[in-house]
Structure 1
Amino acid sequence: MRALCAVCKTHYSTVQGLKHHLTTHSRHVSESDKRFICDECGAKFVTKSNLQVHINWEHFKINTHRCTKCTKIFRSRNALTRHVNYVHNKKRPPRNKICDYCGRAFTTQTILQSHIRTHTGERPLHCAHCPATFAHSAALYTHNKLLHTPK
């Protein structure tokens, strides 16, 4: 059975996965649910482990989660594992971000949001040099390179 978080547009393979998401993801918890506070900077977290990851990365600059196959360094063991699986082991990331307009599935929320603009016509990116607007960052980049880069 697949479970959907309607707010994040993310599907989970189990109801337990969805419940975990709803109780830990910052989009779904209130500030009062974030009981673990960083003494150094005041950042708040729902879980003690997320606080520890924050402290190790931001304040102690501990970067023990290094990929042995390339030079990348990661904030957490989970992020490193994801990287190794999807980049080096060529596993496909789950396409669990679903477009409400056409049903197409995407691997990240960012890609989904960019895709949704093809349906809505939204063009939130603005050229700094002229009135042109764009739906996608790649289009803005190409525009700037072709029209506003000195030759």
Structure 2
Amino acid sequence: MAPGSKFKNVELILPCEWKECCFVGKCMEEFCNHIAEHLDEYLQHPLETAEQYWCWWRSCEFEAKDPRELVTHVNFHSYYTKLKFIGCQLWALHQDLPMCLKSSCSWHQLPKTSEEFVCHWENCDVTFNNPVWFYQHVANHAYATEEEIIADQKKAVYCHWKDCLGVFKGKHKLWDHLRTHTQERVVACPTCGGMFSNNTKFFDHTKRQVSEGNRMFVCQNCQKHFADERLLRDHMRRHVNHVTCALCDMVCTSVSSLKAHTRFRHCNERPFHCHLCDSSFKNAYDLHKHVETHNDSDAYSCDVEGCGFISRTLQTLKRHYKRVHVELNKPSK
């Protein structure tokens, strides 16, 4: 289930904390537009010198030297407000969860952000100053990605993020994976403000804070106590020694990584077959790159007059056409 999908049709409660403002938004678009009005008013009539810009979010002491940096920071407050609302909703749905015992002193201490969020999807590089719109934009890439046949008529989608080799069974898996590139978080603790990449990590955050007497699962190596069996298993992995490959000097950090190493380096099995020639490969990514070589002598070129774009794959050509000749030529509203 997609993070936050339980609350898809739930009306949000998003309180604005800019100075003494009492506005409460009911959806992200409304809330972000409201925050933009505060920023516009502030930047047109700053209360300080042009060399410094203060965040007027309550209890926040952030200071920026560049107005763009301030805009990105304040927009992160709006995104953060949504994450804390989701955290409250999860606590209401799971009343057996222990309460967070950490201090709330870091409630408004946001992570350091750059001046903008940059999409590193292939041929994109669009920038945003609002994480809400940035994460939605990246999700659109995931769901617009075309499935490709990799082997035995099985389909997969490729991650086209810069320097990524990821291959996934479906678009939703790709979307989940893209969070590792964007560092998107989907829920925040409404007590201490900690942010988490999925609901399970949020649940673990609360369970780690139960009293010692309620931690029934004990590590036999160090005698630490845990609230449930899964937290104990996660901890136990730290006691596992590094695993050495019996066929070479490779040292792996886990049994699963050793299996992957053995399969790739020491097995001759090549289950991924090219449908255009007799070549076969050990993984889907190598097959994908090989298939592209069949287009070396017959590259795909854009037929729009005056455009000299050439690509090695039809998929890349289609993306180019949509972005350059369709999206950019849409009439502005």
TM-score, scaled relative to structure 2: 0.21
- Which protein has the larger Cα radius of gyration, Structure 1 or Structure 2? 2
TM-score, scaled relative to structure 1: 0.40
